[in-house]
Amino acid sequence: MEQRNQLMGQRLIKNLERRHFEAYYCDTAEEAKQKVLELMPEGSSVTWGGSMTIRDIGLPQLLKQKPYEVYDRDDAKTGEEVGAIYRKAFDCDFYLSSVNAMSEDGIIVNIDGNGNRVAAITWGPRKVIFLVGLNKVAQNVEAALARARSIASPINCLRFDKQTPCHTDGLCHNCMSEDSICNQFHFLRLSHPARRHVVILIGEELGY
The C-alpha atoms of residue 197 and residue 132 are separated, in whole angstroms, by: 13
Helix (H) or strand (E) holding 131: strand 127-133
pLDDT of residue 68: 98
Judge contact between 16 and 199, C-beta under 8 A: yes
Q: How many residues does the chain have?
A: 208
Q: Over the chain, what is the mean pLDDT?
A: 97
> Cβ atoms within 10 A of the Cβ of 93, count?
16
pLDDT of residue 26: 98
Domain 2-202 listed as CATH 3.40.640.10: no
Judge contact between 133 and 97, C-beta under 8 A: no
> Cβ atoms within 10 A of the Cβ of 155, count?
15
pLDDT of residue 204: 97
% the chain with pLDDT above 90: 100
pLDDT of residue 28: 97
Q: What are the pLDDT digits (tens) for 161-187?
A: 999 999 999 999 999 999 999 999 999
How confident is the model over 34-63, as a mean pLDDT?
96
Q: What are the pLDDT digits (tens) for 106-139?
A: 999 999 999 999 999 999 999 999 999 999 999 9
* pLDDT band at 140; cut points 50, 70, 90: very high
- Residue 174 CA: distances (Å) to CA of 65, 167, 171, 201, 208: 42, 13, 9, 30, 19
pLDDT of residue 120: 98
% the chain with pLDDT above 70: 100
* pLDDT band at 102; cut points 50, 70, 90: very high
Helix (H) or strand (E) holding 12: helix 2-18
**Residues whose CB falls within 8 Å of the CB of residue 59, separated by 6 or more in sequence, listed in order:** 33, 36, 48, 96, 131
120 closest CA partner among 85, 155, 148: 85
Helix (H) or strand (E) holding 208: none
pTM assigned to the model:
0.96
Q: What are the pLDDT digits (tens) for 59-92?
A: 999 999 999 999 999 999 999 999 999 999 999 9
